[in-house]
Amino acid sequence: MGKKVFLASDHAGFSLKSALCEHLKEQGHEVYDLGPEQAISCDYPNSAFKVTDKVLENEDSLGILICGTGIGMSMAANKVKGIRAALATCEFHAKATRQHNNANVLCLGERVTGVGVALGIADIFLNTEFEGGRHLRRIELFDKM
């Protein structure tokens, strides 16, 4: 079933964001591109918070953030209570972080991860469910901080 997905990037993640938006629409997801509209220099925390706001407002939605490395986006997003952002560089990261961490935001680095690999990571992230159980107890230990 298609997911509601919010995406944003900075200038360094712009072209991967464009590729992801097109691909995820083709996969039947409800895709919201929160910018930027062009690859002009911008500050990644502002993009991160646009997505985290929407993910928190929309139950069962997921976010994707792309910068040069994915690191700055993950740092910024993880400052927001209720957000569990995961930087993924392979499909196993994507699968495990949904199953075990119930990650609600995926972070990608355009300067690190090729577009083909990144599309595969996003597909796995959007199509894998949280396993709950002992993993719920563990994320509750940090969600309440």
Nearest-CB residue to ligand RB5? 72
Told to check if 69 binds ligand RB5 by CB under 6 A, we report yes
Tokens found for residue 135: 């993993």
Q: State the minimum distance, in angstroms, from the CB of residue 114 to ligand RB5.
A: 16
What is the three-class DSSP state of 122?
Answer: helix
Q: State the minimum distance, in angstroms, from the CB of residue 141 to ligand RB5.
A: 27
Query: Residue 106: what residue type?
Result: L
Told to check if 71 binds ligand RB5 by CB under 6 A, we report yes
Print the binding letters for residues 27-56 with ligand RB5: x by CB under 6 A, - otherwise. -----------------x------------
Query: Residue 108: what residue type?
Result: L
Q: Give me the half-sphere count of Cα atoms (radius 13 Å) on the Cβ side of residue 76.
A: 24
Q: Is 67 a catalytic residue?
A: yes
Measure the CA–CA gap between 50 and 10, rounded to whole angstroms. Answer: 12
Q: State the minimum distance, in angstroms, from the CB of residue 14 to ligand RB5.
A: 10
Q: Is 90 a catalytic residue?
A: no
Measure the CA–CA gap between 81 and 83, rounded to whole angstroms. Answer: 6
Told to check if 14 binds ligand RB5 by CB under 6 A, we report no
Which among 78, 63, 136 has a CA at the least distance from the CA of 102? 136
Residues that bind ligand RB5 (CB under 6 A): 10, 12, 44, 67-69, 71-72
Positions annotated as catalytic residues are 67, 100
